[in-house]
């Protein structure tokens, strides 16, 4: 009962926080004046880097205010030659010499960057045309030192990919609500913006550089620890960066396990507490299903109550997110996704606290 009540309160907080977060519209007649450095860390991304760079180069943003830094993280494929083939003066290719991994690549990019504002995205992402204009206008008027913005999946082909897409839209509402109400700070490195000066004042990834993942959330929580009011969320569908969902269960679990392992390093107790409530509530639903065979009718009602609480709460939460991002088509798979979500939370939540090493980009990392 306590877990069910706690879960409903968490979902209600997310819904109310997201709905209370104002939309950001591009100001009429706005002329940007901020130099932006887009940093893309890339390792073995020859199949994705060209479309990504083309989407960044096609931004409705003044050319003299934009530089694009691609940091090649020891790629063994044709990533570097693909970047050079574009022959755009705004693009610079950097080769990572010291260190490995995304944090080392971003750190090198920030060191070289001439922009006041650092914008990070991933090499397998596509960025909408007004992405940088929206980020610049939001920054220039709000003066946030760090800005998170939406990331979504697209071009889904099957149930697994649609499940990921639905789950991710919910995560965007969680991110926006948490930042807006300042009760939890999370973000995604595929669409994260911060001042170069702020990165340097935080000493970059110092203190969290031993963790392969966490170039987004852990960096944000470093800032939030001292100045949570300086972090904002840009709520506008046109600022959404798109990427592809993982095509197989193995790649999906590998990605989510990588994300989960950094949870042990979260500096905000609120984030850990919320994740714990969600995890134990899902475990409780799973266990109460088997309890039916021992407790009879009473056990059945316990299971039914918990399952209905989660199903109804999640329905209103995800429907709210899908309506905003105009993806109501994803709600067609809501009920099978609900079962998948329970198992996914239990498996990843458990492994995330037990597994200390995993495979990523053909490397064994911690």
Task: Say whether pLDDT at 282 is over 70.
Answer: yes
In a domain, 251, yes or no: yes
* Same domain flag for 127 and 229: yes
The structure's pTM equals: 0.92
Q: How far apart are CA 122 and CA 255, in angstroms?
A: 14
- Residue 362 confidence (pLDDT) above 90: no
pLDDT in tens, 205-242: 888 877 767 788 899 999 998 888 899 999 999 999 99
Distance CA 144, CA 137 (A): 11
Alpha carbons 179 and 315: distance in angstroms, whole number: 22
* Residue 273 pLDDT > 70: yes
In angstroms, rounded to a whole number, what is the distance separating the alpha carbons of residues 153 and 169? Answer: 8
Pair (302, 205) in one structural domain: no
Distance from C-alpha of 246 to C-alpha of 300, rounded to nearest angstrom: 35
Residue 207 CA to its chain's centroid (Å): 21
Judged against a pLDDT cut of 80, whether residue 199 lies above it is answered with yes
The per-residue pLDDT for 242 is 98
Residue 340 lies in a domain: yes
Q: How confident is the model at residue 361 (pLDDT cuts 50, 70, 90)?
A: low
The CATH code of the domain that includes 237 is 3.90.550.10
CA angle 265, 146, 256 (to 5 degrees): 40
Three-state secondary structure call for residue 273: helix
Range of the domain at 113: 22-262
Which of 245, 262, 279 marks a domain boundary? 262
Among 13-27, 133-147, 149-163, 282-296, whose mean pLDDT is lowest? 282-296
pLDDT digits (tens, 9 = 90+) for 160-194: 999 999 999 999 999 999 999 999 999 999 999 99
Asked whether the beta carbons of 306 and 281 are under 8 A apart, the reply is yes
pLDDT tens per residue, range 305-344: 999 999 999 999 999 999 999 999 999 999 999 999 999 9
Residue carrying the six token digits 């997201």: 18
Query: Mean pLDDT over all residues of the chain?
Result: 91
């Amino acid at each position: 009962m306590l877990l069910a009540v706690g879960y409903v309160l968490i979902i209600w907080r997310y819904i109310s926080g997201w709905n209370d977060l104002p939309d950001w519209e591009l100001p009429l007649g706005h002329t940007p004046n901020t130099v932006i450095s887009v940093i893309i860390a890339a390792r073995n991304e020859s199949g994705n880097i060209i479309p990504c760079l083309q989407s960044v180069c096609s931004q409705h943003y003044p050319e003299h205010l934009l530089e694009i830094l691609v940091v090649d993280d020891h790629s063994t494929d044709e990533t570097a030659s693909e970047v050079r083939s574009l022959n755009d003066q705004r693009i610079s290719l950097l080769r990572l010499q010291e260190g490995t991994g995304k944090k080392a690549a971003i750190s090198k990019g920030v060191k070289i960057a001439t922009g006041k504002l650092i914008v990070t995205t991933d090499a397998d992402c596509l960025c909408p045309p007004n992405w940088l204009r929206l980020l610049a206008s939001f920054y220039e008027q709000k003066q946030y030192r760090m800005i998170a913005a939406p990331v979504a999946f697209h071009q889904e082909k099957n149930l697994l990919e649609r499940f990921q897409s639905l789950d991710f839209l919910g995560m965007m509402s969680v991110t926006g609500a948490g930042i807006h109400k300042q009760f939890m700070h999370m973000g995604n490195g595929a669409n994260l913006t911060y001042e170069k000066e702020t990165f340097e004042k935080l000493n970059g990834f110092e203190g969290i550089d031993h963790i392969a993942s966490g170039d987004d959330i852990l960096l944000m929580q470093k800032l939030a620890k001292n100045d949570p009011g300086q972090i904002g969320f840009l709520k506008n569908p046109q600022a959404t960066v798109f990427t592809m969902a993982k095509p197989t269960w193995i790649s999906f679990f590998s990605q989510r396990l990588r994300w989960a392992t950094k949870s042990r390093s979260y500096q905000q107790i609120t984030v850990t507490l919320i994740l714990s409530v969600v995890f134990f509530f899902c475990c409780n639903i799973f266990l109460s299903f088997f309890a039916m065979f021992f407790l009879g009718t009473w056990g059945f009602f316990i299971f039914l109550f918990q399952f209905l609480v989660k199903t109804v709460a999640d329905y209103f939460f995800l429907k709210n997110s899908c309506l905003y991002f105009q993806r109501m088509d994803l709600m067609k798979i809501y009920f099978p996704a609900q079962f998948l979500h329970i198992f996914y939370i239990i498996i990843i939540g458990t492994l995330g606290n037990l597994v200390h090493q995993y495979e990523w980009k053909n490397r064994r990392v911690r």
